[in-house]
């Protein structure tokens, strides 16, 4: 039974759950078997909680089939930046290596209310800093397409678990590309929703709109399924949005009328590997087969580097300055750099960054008055050697900081627009490439519809998971 279940889509599994053809316990058995077989090669799910999961599944099964929520017992791994009651949650930091939360994050509560069964925590870099998933608590997570390569990050464990069939859907989060980068590197789908679409427990910055929680899966429809289960307002999250009656799964399954879409290889803010750019360009122009006009264009996001560096540093200082003071020498260099940069910011610098973000949002909204969708590479390179902490240069351009290589993703984060990484092809080495698809802020329905239309054209068969492939 296990291989058959693992090879099905999340939507198909939920249909079978709702029909009583399989039980949540069947799914947990299949996952436990699959994790034992493949996770030693990739290290994606370092913390398992199957006993808790089976208790929750058994309780859910006492309810009638039609009262088990949108997920109806579908298992979901949670990124190790998000607390799950009674389950070890480390943030990838030695400081919290033995932390057991007494209460779950709002996000986890929402998923469980919708019938999601939490069975694992997925790997992440320390505090989500850096787009390569490694930490001192659990070690390095490897890309299943070539285990000598990076899985990106910070939702690297989630992406790897999906690509290898250790999950049907997965939770991730995204500040500067952390849902989209690992999705691109691992050949799966990752969606950064608009801020507020998914309620979560606020950190020290209660009105944060730069970091969001979101869904990952192997297909667009499966991502939409999980998004439906994650959305909703919660008074404890002051930026959370109420459900507006939209079914994102229905939206994904309903072809939107697209008139004109845009492609940009670099958004005017970054170098891009030529092979990656060409793979993405070819995929984007497939929209022409649907009678959609494709043009080369992008909004003016020229302030993105300066703006993001400031706002990210401010956020890191608010979140981690006390840790740096209380635990000197125990944070990784990239985290320390971001915190110290934030502590050195002046009020004029912060004001300038906020003004830059406001201007970029306004220009982006105006841009989507003319174009239905914007497409770019999701990452500027293919998966790089896992020993590299980050990408230091691209196309002959050397970067000043460890986050500069993420500009094509973090520029979009600044605009509040929803963005999705869709598998769109492979390099000459057989490594996945993701196409970033962006829509008007709060335009998830059109984004998912357009992405699903292109997914059908590309026909890359991402439903079927892969076996980890050793590389050198």
Which one from 9, 79, 161, 194 is the annotated catalytic residue?
Answer: 79
**Which residues share a beta bridge with 232?**
198
User: For this structure, is 332 an active site residue?
Assistant: no
15, two tokens: 């249909």
For the chain, the C-alpha Rg in angstroms (whole number) is 20
User: For this structure, is 104 an active site residue?
Assistant: no
Which one from 154, 211, 421, 449 is the annotated catalytic residue?
Answer: 154
- The whole-angstrom separation of Cα 305 and Cα 308 is 5
Which one from 9, 122, 178, 211 is the annotated catalytic residue?
Answer: 178
**Which residues share a beta bridge with 394?**
397
- The whole-angstrom separation of Cα 249 and Cα 241 is 18
**Helix (DSSP H) and strand (DSSP E) numbers for the chain:** 15, 15
446, two tokens: 């059109």
What is the DSSP secondary structure assignment for residue 307, as one 8-state letter? H
Q: Do 243 and 231 contact (CB within 8 A), yes or no?
A: yes
User: For this structure, is 154 an active site residue?
Assistant: yes
- The whole-angstrom separation of Cα 353 and Cα 340 is 17
CA 460 from chain center: how many Å? 20
Give rounded-to-5 percent helix, strand, coil for the chain: 40, 15, 45
Q: In what order do the strands lie in the sheet with 432-438?
A: 169-174, 212-217, 189-192, 419-426, 432-438, 373-377, 260-263, 293-296
User: Pick from 274, 471, 282: which is nearest to 384 by CA?
Assistant: 471
- The whole-angstrom separation of Cα 76 and Cα 26 is 14
- The whole-angstrom separation of Cα 242 and Cα 88 is 31
Write out the catalytic residue numbers: 79, 154, 178
């Amino acid at each position: 039974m296990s291989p058959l279940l693992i090879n099905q889509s999340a939507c198909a599994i939920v249909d079978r759950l709702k029909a009583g053809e399989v039980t949540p316990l069947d799914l947990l058995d299949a996952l436990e078997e699959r994790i034992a077989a493949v996770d030693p090669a990739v290290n994606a799910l370092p913390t398992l909680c199957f006993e808790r999961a089976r208790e929750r599944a058994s309780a859910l099964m006492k309810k009638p089939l039609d009262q088990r929520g949108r997920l109806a017992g579908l298992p979901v791994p949670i990124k190790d930046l998000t607390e799950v009651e009674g389950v070890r949650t480390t943030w990838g930091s030695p400081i919290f290596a033995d932390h057991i939360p007494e209460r779950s994050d709002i996000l986890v509560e929402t998923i469980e209310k919708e019938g999601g069964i939490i069975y694992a925590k997925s790997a992440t870099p320390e505090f989500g800093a850096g787009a390569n998933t490694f930490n001192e608590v659990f070690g390095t997570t490897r890309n299943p397409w070539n285990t000598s390569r990076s899985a990106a990050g910070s939702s690297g464990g989630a992406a790897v678990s999906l690509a290898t069939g250790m999950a049907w859907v997965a939770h991730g989060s995204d500040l500067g590309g952390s849902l989209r980068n690992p999705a691109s590197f691992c050949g799966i789908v990752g969606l950064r929703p608009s801020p507020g679409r998914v309620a979560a427990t606020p950190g020290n910055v209660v009105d944060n709109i730069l970091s969001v929680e979101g869904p990952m899966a192997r297909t667009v429809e499966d991502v939409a399924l999980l998004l439906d289960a994650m959305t909703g307002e919660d008074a404890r999250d002051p930026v959370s949005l109420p459900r507006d009656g939209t079914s994102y799964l229905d939206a994904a399954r309903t072809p939107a009328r697209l008139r004109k879409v845009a492609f940009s290889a670099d958004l005017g803010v970054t170098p891009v590997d030529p092979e990656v750019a060409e793979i993405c360009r070819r995929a984007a122009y497939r929209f022409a087969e649907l009678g959609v006009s494709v043009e080369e264009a992008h909004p003016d996001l020229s302030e993105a580097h300066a703006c993001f560096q400031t706002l990210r540093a401010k956020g890191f200082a608010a979140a981690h300055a006390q840790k740096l003071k209380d635990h000197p020498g125990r944070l990784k260099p990239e985290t320390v750099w971001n915190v110290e940069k934030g502590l050195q910011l002046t009020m004029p610098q912060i004001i300038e960054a906020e003004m830059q973000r406001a201007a970029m949002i306004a220009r982006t909204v105006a841009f989507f008055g003319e174009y239905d969708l914007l497409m770019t590479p999701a990452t500027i390179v293919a998966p790089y050697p896992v020993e590299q902490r980050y990408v230091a240069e691209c196309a002959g351009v050397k970067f000043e900081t460890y986050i500069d290589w993420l500009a094509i993703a973090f520029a979009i984060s600044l605009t509040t627009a929803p963005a999705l990484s869709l598998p769109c092809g492979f390099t000459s080495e057989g490594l996945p490439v993701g196409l970033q698809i962006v829509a008007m802020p709060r335009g998830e329905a059109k984004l998912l519809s357009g992405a699903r239309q292109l997914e059908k054209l590309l026909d890359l068969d991402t439903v079927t998971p892969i076996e980890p492939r050793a590389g050198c």
